[in-house]
Amino acid sequence: MPQAARAVITTDMFTTIFEPFRIHSVEPLRMTTPGYRAAAIRDAGYNVFGLHSADVLVDLLTDSGTGAMSRDQWAAIQHGDESYAGSPSWYVFLEAVRKLFPFAHVIPTHQGRAAEKILFAAIGGPGKVVPNNTHFDTTRANVEFTGAEAVDLVIAEGHDPAAQHPFKGNMDVEALDRLIATRGAENVPVVMITITNNSGGGQPVSLENLRAVRAVCDRHGVPLYLDACRFAENAWFIREREPGQGERDVADIVREVAGLADGMTISAKKDPLANIGGWLATNDDALAERCRALLVLTEGFPTYGGLAGRDLEAIAQGLEEAVAHDYLRYRTRSTAYLGDGLQRAGIPIVQPVGGHAVYIDARGLLPHVPPLHYPGQALVVALYETGGVRGCEIGTVMFGRQPDGTEIPAAMDLVRLAIPRRTYTQSHVDYVIEVCGAVAERAPQLTGYRIVEEPAQLRHFTARFEPVP
């Protein structure tokens, strides 16, 4: 038996999560006290985005660009060629992308939202409607910025934090069909599907659902695009949970998913294991031309987009590592480990646990805080003050403000604890579970917040809050 195959069998015999790497260089964390943190969060307007990250002990704000790169990625960076046009690093990147996502045109951007901005600037506009399972905040903002409408069509189970469904990120196919029929296919420039569904709890989308969405798109002649930030985790869940997929190579599943779509946007800061980057890909020649024209205006020349040659190299190597089964097994099991610990502490979470994060049901934990007093924000602040753990509100602060200026409660008030890739150890996660347990014990005493300052778009990043007595 080859040595690699023997190693896989050995680790499968034990229940302890095996991290398929060892630590090569370390970053110190600075200890803080509850009093220090209470002052820091007050100075930040009770918005954790305003904190100095050196004041955070375990940073679960996002899994975006916060992962640890591998030795081989750092080595690849040394191969970065910074030629303005036609750099070898561009071709390394292009080949790595096309190996998984064989689209005709690949347009590199500095991150995911830049790809979204270019795509929707080219196809959006007043009167247009863009369906998605659940738009991520930047995707929604980029759709709405053009005057188009962003509509979320996740299945009913996707709105119920406690519902057990293996693919809660699935799109409601009948609702999609109805929407396109009612609004007219000519007004639906694209159907988007987010894998995994970040704003809906990091829940995966099944191959079966993707095929059904494709069939609806075909019937109406509307293209299908992926928001593929977490394509590898989604493919792993397909392998683990979807009948008949258990023996497949993840890279193969990714290629099948890509083959169902006409294009994609992605942030390389997630599953591609890089600290920066993204791309837009499409099979539509005319659209690619319009997008490249916009790219040159805002990002850069088409063979580097918004990136340095060294970034292109890091992403290419990251794509190889992202689909490795040992890595994905460790990744999804360590996220589930946090979820299991929180449940043991009696904390309600979105079930089942998704790939990159655990989502606490803040509305469930703090039923006495009305949604317009932001239970998610109250919980995020308490986690920071208590233990220096930084999470992210995904609820009424993020989604409550409507394009017409009114404010309504979001479908759910969640707190996302996103796990940076290959960054924290199991002891860090045990600490987080302990902090969450301590906060849950005094949940009835936590009060809500009101917003005292907010920008017109994406308010959760910079809004300032004050406690509601």
Q: Does 133 bind ligand PLP (CB under 6 A)?
A: no
Residue 335 near ligand PLP by CB under 6 A:
no
- Does residue number 304 form part of the binding site for ligand PLP (CB under 6 A)? no
Query: What is the rounded CA–CA span in Å between residue 40 and residue 352?
Result: 34
Interacting span for ligand PLP (CB under 6 A) from 106-114, 165-173, 305-313, 328-336: 106-114
Closest CB to ligand PLP among residues 154, 435: 154
Asked if residue 64 binds ligand PLP (CB under 6 A), the reply is: yes
Task: Tell me how far apart the alpha carbons of residues 155 and 203 are, in angstroms, rounded to a whole number.
Answer: 11
* Interface with ligand PLP (CB under 6 A), residue from 73, 267, 332, 334: 267
* 268 vs 443, beta carbon nearer ligand PLP: 268
Interface with ligand PLP (CB under 6 A), residue from 239, 269, 331, 390: 269
C-alpha 31, offset from chain centre? 29
What whole-number distance in Å separates Cα of residue 37 and Cα of residue 1? 54
Q: Which is nearer to ligand PLP, 189 or 341 (CB)?
A: 189
Q: Does 66 bind ligand PLP (CB under 6 A)?
A: no
Instruction: Reply yes or no: is the peptide bond before residue 352 cis, omega within 30 of 0.
Output: yes
Q: Which stretch in 7-15, 38-46, 136-144, 406-414 sits in contact with ligand PLP by CB under 6 A?
A: 136-144
Which residue, 113 or 128, has its beta carbon nearer to ligand PLP? 113
The whole-angstrom separation of Cα 173 and Cα 188 is: 15
Q: Does 203 help bind ligand PLP (rule: CB under 6 A)?
A: no
Is residue 113 within the footprint of ligand PLP (CB under 6 A)?
A: yes
**Residue number, 229 or 412, with CB nearest to ligand PLP:** 229
Using rule CB under 6 A, residue 132 touches ligand PLP: no
Give me the least distance between CB of 269 and ligand PLP, in Å please: 5
Q: Tell whether residue 111 is a contact of ligand PLP (CB under 6 A).
A: yes
CB of 238 to ligand PLP, least distance (A): 17
Comparison of 229 and 446: residue with beta carbon closer to ligand PLP: 229
- Residue 278 as a binder of ligand PLP (CB under 6 A): the answer is yes
Using the contact rule CB under 6 A, the part of the chain among 17-25, 134-142, 243-251, 441-449 near ligand PLP is: 134-142
Q: Of residues 80, 112, 263, 376, which one binds ligand PLP by CB under 6 A?
A: 112
Number of Cβ within 10 Å of residue 125's Cβ equals 13
Min CB(387)–ligand PLP separation in Å = 24
Per CB under 6 A, the segment of 68-76, 105-113, 380-388, 453-461 that binds ligand PLP is: 105-113
Per CB under 6 A, 360 contacts ligand PLP: no
Q: How far is the CB of 115 from ligand PLP (least distance, A)?
A: 8
Query: Does 400 engage in binding with ligand PLP (CB under 6 A)?
Result: no
139 binds ligand PLP (CB under 6 A): yes
Look at phi and psi of residue 245 and say left if phi exceeds 0, alpha if psi is from -120 to 50, else beta: alpha
Answer for which of 90, 101, 136, 424 binds ligand PLP (CB under 6 A) is 136
Amino acid at the residue 238? I
Q: Does 194 bind ligand PLP (CB under 6 A)?
A: yes
How many Cβ atoms sit within 10 Å of the Cβ of residue 277? 28
Q: Does 227 bind ligand PLP (CB under 6 A)?
A: yes
Considering only the stretches 15-23, 110-118, 247-255, 288-296, report the one whose residues sit in contact with ligand PLP under the rule CB under 6 A. Answer: 110-118
Task: Please answer whether residues 57 and 388 qualify as being in contact, where contact means their C-beta atoms are separated by less than 8 angstroms.
Answer: yes
d(CA 153, CA 188): 14
Question: 271 or 385: whose CB is closer to ligand PLP?
Answer: 271
> Would you say 291 and 120 are in contact if contact means Cβ atoms under 8 Å apart?
no
Q: Are 324 and 333 in contact (CB under 8 A)?
A: no
Interface residues toward ligand PLP, by CB under 6 A: 64, 111-113, 136, 138-139, 194, 198, 227, 229, 267, 269, 278
